[in-house]
Amino acid sequence: MTDTGLAAWLARLEQRAPAERIKLGLERVNAVRDRLKLGLSGAVISVAGTNGKGSVVAMIESVALAAGWPVLAYTSPHLHRFEERLRLSGRTLPEAEWIAALEAVESARGSVDLSYFEHTTLAALWLGMQLKARLNVLEVGLGGRLDAVNCIDPDVAVLTSIGLDHRDWLGPTRLSIAREKLGIARSGRPLIIGERRWPAGFDKLLDRTGAQAWCLGREIRVRRRSSGGFSLTLPNQPRRKLPQPALVGDFQIDNAACALAALARLAPELGAYWDEGLMRCRLPGRFEIIAEAPQVIVDVAHNTAAARALACQLRRQAGPAVAVFAALADKDITAIARCLADVFTHWYLPPLGGPRSVDPRHVAEQLRQAGVAGGVDALESWGQALELSRARAGTAGRVVVFGSFLSVAAAREMIAETIAETTAESVATAN
């Protein structure tokens, strides 16, 4: 490979191991892990779940940062730049360090075939070994039991939710998906469960893990306060009043409870920083407001559970809402649309592009079959979608961009460009 930049490295990995050739399993990852002698010097919290993983990781990270701890956070996918996937004390790492890590994995793997995610996850863990953070927070990519992140034993495991997503890989039912996600638990170690609606048989799966489980609604008790915020009661601890998390959405209270319960099991001394951590937490792409007049909201909601949460949040707000929606081919577009059928006055459907994309005209047909209340327009570009949606929403309305990380990234980039151009024009006029 003549070009040794990070983009070239990632392109090479994508070509060598395209998504359709992914094979779940830890044998290959464990073999390369052992050759690299990978190990993280600090404590490890692993976070799995259908929804809420990124929020829980961000809240744990924010509390640790408030305490001044060196904290490493690994998440996926990224919004704009690959380097976003790994943060040390809130900062991304230079491209050169990522390249060194990818090269280390390449040298160690020999003839072992690794997927794109496996190779990059091992690279992230190799970087983590060099950086020696006091706390390492790892988001599980797909499932749990056979995910590359699970090659590291967590001191505390968190399962945020169990929804019907990635069924081709994880099985057709919530119970089969739960079985895979519970694979991050370790016998005799703490496990936090944030799912309130257990599928039949889940209690038996939980018992088999041998983990010391705290479950939301059982050992972890949350009460929303009418004055704002919530109270949290954990075993052998007094009830504590806490502020509303900075991340928008009532569902974020449950995510906050999971994050704080994990920290209570691992590092009780961080309790003094819970309030500050919750109020300072930021996470791009989760009900994030990126423009005003009209308000433009972006959200990575890409499955039915996330769509229900998004609908609940939007129904609480006054004013018309217009959708800009695009999702990947493996998503249940009809089910997502049904969750939001009565929320939007109009739907605009731009193309995502790439091998997993869906023709907007096909998406439009699925929305009509789902019985959405608003009109539906399949479009040819994101620029067209944002222009038309903002015009239809008017200054008092809202534009909601959702369906995929790719959708959110496209909208954030275009709105940022628009704001920059408007600012430049204003400066030029003033001069």
Q: Residue ranges per domain, the chain?
A: 6-280, 288-430
Per residue in 326-371, pLDDT tens? 999 888 999 999 999 999 999 999 998 877 889 999 999 999 999 9
Position with higher pLDDT, 167 vs 380 = 380
Full-model pTM = 0.92
Mean pLDDT, residues 375-385 taken together: 95
Residue 73 is encoded by which pair of tokens? 């956070």
Position with higher pLDDT, 268 vs 319 = 268
Q: Where are the alpha helices (DSSP H) in 290-359?
A: 304-315, 333-339
- The CATH class, in words, for 6-280 is alpha beta
Per residue in 44-72, pLDDT tens? 999 999 899 999 999 999 999 999 999 99
- Give the chain's mean pLDDT: 91
The pLDDT assigned to 72 comes to 97
Is 255 within 8 Å of 52 (Cβ atoms)? yes
Q: Quote the percentage of the chain above a pLDDT of 90.
A: 80
User: Which residues are paired to 73 by β-bridges?
Assistant: 87, 137
Residue 10 has pLDDT above 80, yes or no: yes
pLDDT band at residue 17 under the 50/70/90 scheme: confident
Residue 325 has pLDDT above 80, yes or no: yes
Q: Which helix (H) or strand (E) holds 400?
A: strand 398-402
Residue 95: other Cβ atoms inside 10 A: 15
The pLDDT assigned to 227 comes to 84
Residue 310 has pLDDT above 60, yes or no: yes
Per residue in 288-308, pLDDT tens? 999 999 999 999 999 999 999
- The CATH class, in words, for 288-430 is alpha beta
